[in-house]
Amino acid sequence: MTIRLLIADDQEMVRSAFRMILGSQPDMDVVAEAADGATAVEEARRLRPDVCILDIRMPRMDGLEATRLLAGPDVRDPLNVLIATTFDLDEYVYGALHGGACGFLLKDASPALLVEAVRAAAAGNALISPSITVRLLAHMASQRGGFSPSPAVRKQTGRPIEPLTQRELDVVRLLARGRTNEELALELYVTPATIKTHLANVQRKLGVRNRVEIAAWAWENGICGPGQP
C-alpha cells in the first residue's frame, strides 16, 4: 500500500528535502505541497492524504491551527498529522498535542527517523522525536497547575472508564517513556499483536484517540514520573 503524503512548509528548501527523502521510498508518494497553513488545510481536505507533515510557523495559518482543523477533537474524520519543526519549544508541542497531532519531529532528525515517523503516523502508531519525548511530558506533568490537557485527556484525566490492568499500566508506563511497539513487545516478552491489543483497550478505557494522549495521561497522573523505569 502506498502512503500518500502532504508536505507543508514555508521554505522551499525544506519541502524539497522532504520530498526527495520521502519520495525515494518505494511505499510513499508526495501528492501535495503547501507553503502556508491555509493551503495545507484546503489540499488536505481535498486529497485526504494518509499523513500530513506540517511545519509550525507558516504564513496565513500556522501549523497548530492547521493541525486543529485537520485532526482536532471536533473533527469527525481526522487525518494523521506529523509536526516537523525547527523549534524545540514546549508550548508548540503542547499546542500540537492538543490539536490532535500524532507525532512530533525536529527537522534536524535523521532521514531514517523521518521515514520511520511517517510510517508510524500512517499506521496510527505515533512517534515523538526521542530528543524531546520524556523532557516535554515530564515538564508537562510538573506544570499541571497551569497546563490545560486536551479535551480528550481532560475528559478522562484520572478517571478511566474501566480500571487498567497491571499489564496495561506496564504498557502505558513504557509507552510514556517513548518506547515503540516493537520495544514494548521485547521488554514485556509478548508479541507486537498483543501490545496493539493492550493499547486498543487502554485507549477505550481512557477515552483518548492515540498514543500521544495516552502518554500525556500517564505523565499528568503520575503513572510515569521521575525516577521510574
The pLDDT tens digits of the residues spanning 104-118 come to: 788 887 888 888 888
What's residue 142's pLDDT? 54
**SS3 of residue 31 by DSSP:** strand
**What is the tens place of the pLDDT at every residue in 8-67?**
999 999 999 999 999 999 999 999 999 999 999 999 999 999 999 999 889 999 888 999
Asked whether 101 and 81 are in contact (CB, 8 A), the reply is yes
Helix axes 133-142, 211-220, angle to 10 degrees: 40
Residue 180's CB: how many other CB atoms inside 10 A?
A: 17
pLDDT of residue 3: 94
Output the pTM of the full model: 0.65
Q: What percentage of the chain reaches a pLDDT higher than 90?
A: 39
171 CB contacts (<8 Å, ≥6 apart)? Answer: 184, 188, 195, 198, 199, 202
pLDDT value at residue 177: 77
The per-residue pLDDT for 154 is 41
CB atoms inside a 10 Å sphere around CB 193 = 10
Kindly give the interhelix angle for 166-175 and 181-188, rounded to the nearest 10 degrees: 130
Given a contact cutoff of 8 angstroms between Cβ atoms, the answer to whether 176 and 128 are in contact is no
Average pLDDT, stretch 76-101?
A: 75
